[in-house]
Amino acid sequence: MSASVLVAYATRSGSTQEVAEAVAATLRDAGLEVDIQPMRTVGDLKDNSAVVLGAPLYMFHWHKDARGFLGRHRQALAERPTAVFALGPFHDTEKEWQEVRGQLDKELAKFPWFAPVAVEVFGGKFDPAKLGFPWKLNPAMKKIPATDIRDWAAISAWAKDLVARLHPSQS
């Protein structure tokens, strides 16, 4: 097994991909070898010694590619340190952070064998102009103002903290 860390992401509108790229850049800066790929294009994990999975929440569920990835790679993930992040809240209120963390925990609980070394929720990005079908037909959703509460300093700090968890020899 090589020392490469796989950062695998799912996205609809691109904001999670940008966070995955920032996580990958921080891990590289720390000296790790990193591959970054959309989850749905990952064949196997044989060249990866550790994994970071990032996907947004939509309608109370973690992106279906993330759920599919856990199902497909169960055995390989059980043998590798794996960290998880989700994007979700786009209002910076304690209530929303707690609700979204609850949504993610509920989704992960569907995979009782899965024991990630770190789980984090990051703020998301919302742009009513980019709503896909069927949400673009919903007038109430189209009225929600655009927002982006991704905290790049927090994302970078989380990724730095992962180095020791994913590769204890690098700490």
Ligand X SMILES: Cc1cc2nc3c(=O)[nH]c(=O)nc-3n(C[C@H](O)[C@H](O)[C@H](O)COP(=O)(O)O)c2cc1C
Distant-in-sequence contacts of 102-105, Cβ < 8 A, 24+ apart: 103/57, 103/60, 103/61, 103/62, 104/57, 104/62
Q: Does 60 bind ligand X (CB under 6 A)?
A: yes
Residue of this chain nearest to ligand X (CB atom):
88
Which residue(s) pair with 61 in the sheet?
Answer: 58
* C-alpha to C-alpha distances, 163 to 26, 30, 110, 158, nearest whole angstrom: 9, 7, 27, 9
Contact pattern from residue 61 through residue 100 relative to ligand X, giving x for each residue in contact according to CB under 6 A and a dash for the rest: --------------------------xxxx---------x
Q: Does 15 bind ligand X (CB under 6 A)?
A: yes
* Shortest distance in whole angstroms from residue 73 CB to ligand X: 20
Pairing assessment for the beta strands 48-58 and 61-62 based on DSSP bridges: antiparallel
- Exactly one of 2, 14, 142, 171 binds ligand X (CB under 6 A); that residue is 14
The full length of the chain comes to 171
Residue 109 contacts residue 91 (beta carbons within 8 Å): no
Residue range at the interface with ligand X (CB under 6 A); choices 10-18, 39-47, 108-116, 158-166: 10-18
CA angle, residues 24, 30, 32, in degrees to nearest 5: 65
Q: Does 116 bind ligand X (CB under 6 A)?
A: no
- Exactly one of 6, 52, 56, 120 binds ligand X (CB under 6 A); that residue is 56
Q: Which is nearer to ligand X, 54 or 81 (CB)?
A: 54
Interface residues toward ligand X, by CB under 6 A? 11-16, 56-60, 87-90, 100, 103, 124-126, 131, 135
